[in-house]
Structure 1
């Protein structure tokens, strides 16, 4: 009788780490909970900041969830999912980046026991999807539509949404001032587009936070300038503005250029030709009757002095984004040639142009632009680190106001909506039987992480306040949430703690999908770095020590 030995097949590269099963899911959940531990202290008005030091030694002080996760060098593949949903929330909505990570981690934390007890991950996933769909449907029932509001009421609503977004930021003490800046900035944009990239943000260290300026137009830092610049006028009323992508400078010959001449007069002709070209350009610009000349390319000392003698202001090497925003604000177009300048179509204008000294910098400012679909915020602060955090805070508020303007449905903030959803899901779970009931109850419990963490970060008794909120919501007070000003609970709709409902919907969807993704992965294969000459990625199957079959 002959026996055939099964050959040993090695599919993966030697040294490849593989782990699978229930233990792998629990390990991935624990990695996500480590991220939650890092972020949870930053949530809410009393959330603490985190000091991050990069590999280059640069420090960042922030409590913005997306920024923290971006700066952290997260290597665990499951934990990276939280980094991705945080960035997604930041790009799509702009706020709620910390909340979405806390929610996802808490959902996983409450599902961890089910996994350890042997429940199928597919059963849990179905329950989570149903819970999320129920919660989103309830949000849409609870949201308040502000579509019918007058212009004044709409402005007040946007201010309140901006204030709510700033409550957890470094600028909360100056919230009223910055909220007005943010709302005014967003309202200058085209309502059909609302492109936040058209809000220019410039930073000048020094001065108080409330020295920050809103410019209904464009402002940019004085560019590199040549001799003769100081002789140019620095203020114009209703100027004509010419924007170019043309170099106005005498260029030296290239090192490898070769010009063969037989007479000295021929050399003079070459020099005269070069001067003739640039003087022709300058005279055509002057003939266009413009007062201000801007160019993406250099404007040399000859052109600078030429314009100064004729009462024209010029600036070369203007940044692309600044010049693009100037065109949107003042009109006209960016020309690549000065031939046949159309005075009506190619020149822009504004009410006033001036060069101002702001702190230690000089700024060129275009005010009162007739086609203004753009604006500029000039931020001031004690140090560049503070200004950087102000910029991150304003970005969140700008995105929230933009979303509120597009989707005029709001819900009460301060944990009110989470407590109402939690109560709704618990009540719903009592109507069904089986495993799904447990999953929905765990999802309801997970939603309470937001108000609970708000309490803990404020140093309050979370058990007492959450019990109060449960009591109010059980009695139909659906807008009651945390009032951290009075260390109690209050009707946050009346207190004007508002948030666009789209923020909560997006956060719930992203958090649930992230949790489902982690729960659906029960095997991880991690390749070693490629050895010299090895197969890339260790993905090519190969055999090792395969004995010849016996009994042949």
Structure 2
């Protein structure tokens, strides 16, 4: 037999490598993303349910925040991880809409599946989606209402915060928390709006409405030595010194070995060490400071010394709290006590130590250097307080975006229905396959109002038909109204969201979809397993063998 014309088989990839490609691979990736979408769907909207997640350590988390759920799900499918990434990006960029962006991305992929199965090239679908999303974003910008001319600024921000809270655990306490969120954002420097200057502390116990807004910095009382209770607990216009110095006597054996011949020599060493710390304390006293904070320990000798002189001190202050104190009260961290000048000290209107629940907190209020605030959250269980914190984070970010970007749209599925109607009308003017693809994108947008209805137990088909009818009559702000279980003008009912949330969600969802559609081959390298536990893996392998001794 003649084998001369046959091409020999060439092995390029390592044995065990899984390589799958083609149309089936794209559809497989889409199905993985749809599984993620199905998990998040029930959490959307004011009447969405929460998800209880338990990690490998048995720690439980109860949440309906999309980014939090996806972070804890531990997704391993490489394609589905893109949904986790866009959800995180939405959380970092806008702060809210993390569930919406994932559901939208899943639905846009779902609409692409029939085209792929019919043999349409994924590049044609991607081109249609890019055109559709650019039209959709342009339409949202055209519809958005600019509220910068309205004088009642606070009222508008409260309405945006209330909409952000409507789907959260704290929706029943919205009146209380809306005020807290808006106070927090308005307390910041309006040019920078650095949300990292809003501190959040969680204190178990009490009701949610026992939460406290502190116009300044607050941190939990640090570990304290004898003499602490004799220190002042309330000081008006204090002078605050921040240190990175240890004010503690150390036993000689910890620091050095000293050889002595006489008892007097030993006593001289001890006296010298005492003199060093007494000199430091005297220099601090002479600086005029009546509050001393240090990142390092302040021992019992120093604590008693300060108590005798009516000075408050706290050692081992966490770096995060210390940095916010410095930003708020001014001054600078000193790593030595020998040259403390008046400009190194900070000040505020009032320092106070208060009991909150079972904890004691140090409060610095009325800070003038940097505008900052702290939210002390209360609640019956740790999981509840953690969810309150996540809910407030979303609302604070929404208020921040509303201050920066003054364009708003109506929520409750109104903007999605209006953009969907616009894209349907536009698709009729486009010939060929693009007409079908843009129409499919328009249909995908309806997933938001449909899911809102399903989660609320309403008849989704009936409500969607009414919404389509209303929008065809140019009722552009009509969306799902949960109070009447019907449709209504959500703009006049103040169900508002920043336009940025919708624009970012649409562009992120479409980018993620196009990314999945552009991948038609997956190559997965298997870890090579050594034949025997005591042998090294073959050269180039990635196994974790143990070399024989």
Partner of 2:523: 525
CA deviation vs aligned residue, 1:151-187 (integer Å, no higher than 9, x gap): xx11111111111110000000001110110111111
Partner of 2:73: 72
CA deviation vs aligned residue, 1:439-493 (integer Å, no higher than 9, x gap): 0000000000000000000000111111111111111111111111121111111
CA deviation vs aligned residue, 1:263-283 (integer Å, no higher than 9, x gap): 333222221221111111100
Deviation, 1:496, is 0.6
| 2:474 aligned with 1:476 | yes
TM-score (norm 2): 0.95
Partner of 1:363: 361
Query: Match for 2:388 among 384, 387, 390?
Result: 390
Evaluate the alpha carbon distance shift between residue 383 and residue 257 of structure 1 in structure 2; reply closer, same or farther with a 3 A threshold: same
Deviation, 1:535, is 5.7
3-state SS of 1:95 partner: coil
| 2:63 aligned with 1:62 | yes
Evaluate the alpha carbon distance shift between residue 399 and residue 438 of structure 1 in structure 2; reply closer, same or farther with a 3 A threshold: same
Q: Does the 8 A contact of 1:530 with 1:536 survive in 2?
A: no
CA deviation vs aligned residue, 1:134-161 (integer Å, no higher than 9, x gap): 00011110111112222xx111111111
Greater relative CO, 1 or 2 (CA 8 Å, sep 6+): 1
Distance 2:3 2:154 in 1: 89
Partner of 1:312: 311
Partner of 2:99: 98
> Which runs of structure 2 are paired with 1:150-189 in the superposition (5 Å)?
150=151, 153-189=152-188
> Which runs of structure 2 are paired with 1:90-129 in the superposition (5 Å)?
90-129=91-130
CA deviation vs aligned residue, 1:389-415 (integer Å, no higher than 9, x gap): 000111111111111111111111111
Q: Does the 8 A contact of 1:200 with 1:376 survive in 2?
A: yes
CA deviation vs aligned residue, 1:397-441 (integer Å, no higher than 9, x gap): 111111111111111111110000000000000001100000000
Evaluate the alpha carbon distance shift between residue 124 and residue 249 of structure 1 in structure 2; reply closer, same or farther with a 3 A threshold: same
> Which runs of structure 2 are paired with 1:343-422 in the superposition (5 Å)?
343=342, 345-422=343-420
3-state SS of 1:351 partner: strand
Deviation, 1:534, is 4.1
Q: Does the 8 A contact of 1:420 with 1:473 survive in 2?
A: yes
Distance 2:507 2:142 in 1: 17
Deviation, 1:329, is 1.5
Distance 1:375 1:312 in 2: 25
Distance 1:313 1:461 in 2: 63
Structure 2: stretches of 5+ with no match in the other structure: 531-536, 543-549
Deviation, 1:370, is 2.2
Partner of 2:147: 146
| 2:315 aligned with 1:336 | no
Partner of 1:6: 7
Deviation, 1:18, is 1.0
Query: Match for 1:516 among 502, 514, 517?
Result: 514
Distance 1:536 1:419 in 2: 55
Distance 1:247 1:78 in 2: 51
TM-score (norm 1): 0.95
3-state SS of 2:169 partner: coil
Q: Does the 8 A contact of 1:408 with 1:500 survive in 2?
A: yes
CA deviation vs aligned residue, 1:307-353 (integer Å, no higher than 9, x gap): 0011111100011111111112212111111122112x111112211
Distance 2:3 2:527 in 1: 43
